Amino acid sequence: MTTITDPAQLPALFEERLNAGDIEGVLALFAPDAAMRTTTGAVISGPDALHQEVSGTVAARGHLTNVGRHVLVAADTALLVTDWTMEIDTPDGVRVAPTGTTANVARRVADGEWRFALLNPLGTA
């Protein structure tokens, strides 16, 4: 596993692991009490809900491209703003490529590494 010493590493690692279908690798990027706003607007938290969300994306052949825009760090908290495109198969088999801008929050956890605490792929929408 990669040691995450800079919160700016998180979006690229998320992209790399998701595109590889590495569900556990993606989940390892989350702080233990992380929460996520899904692209449908639902807010989920807890390991089971996050696992289900990531697994569904992998099952739909999700392919993510992240382009970092800003990383703002204050002590043990960081705001990560990232532009993204997600190619994914819809339930009826159509390949779509929605885009957006995240407003994610990361924090330095007990072991000194950075993890996502809040993921919001809808940014300010």
Looking up residue 30, the CATH number of its domain turns out to be 3.10.450.50
Mean pLDDT, range 8-33, rounded to an integer: 97
Q: Say if residue 60's pLDDT is above 70.
A: yes
Domain count of the chain? 1
The answer as to whether 2 is a domain residue is no
Structure confidence at residue 63 (pLDDT)? 98
The answer as to whether 13 is a domain residue is yes
The answer as to whether 1 is a domain residue is no
Q: What span, in angstroms and rounded, lies between the C-alpha atoms of 74 and 52?
A: 31
19: three-class secondary structure by DSSP: helix
pTM higher than the cut 0.85:
yes
The answer as to whether 4 is a domain residue is no
Domain that holds residue 92: 9-119
Structure confidence at residue 2 (pLDDT)? 80
Question: Could you tell me the sign of the dihedral formed by the alpha carbons of 122, 77, 34, 63, in that order?
Answer: positive
Q: What span, in angstroms and rounded, lies between the C-alpha atoms of 29 and 115?
A: 5
Contact 42, 56 (CB under 8 A): no
The answer as to whether 62 is a domain residue is yes
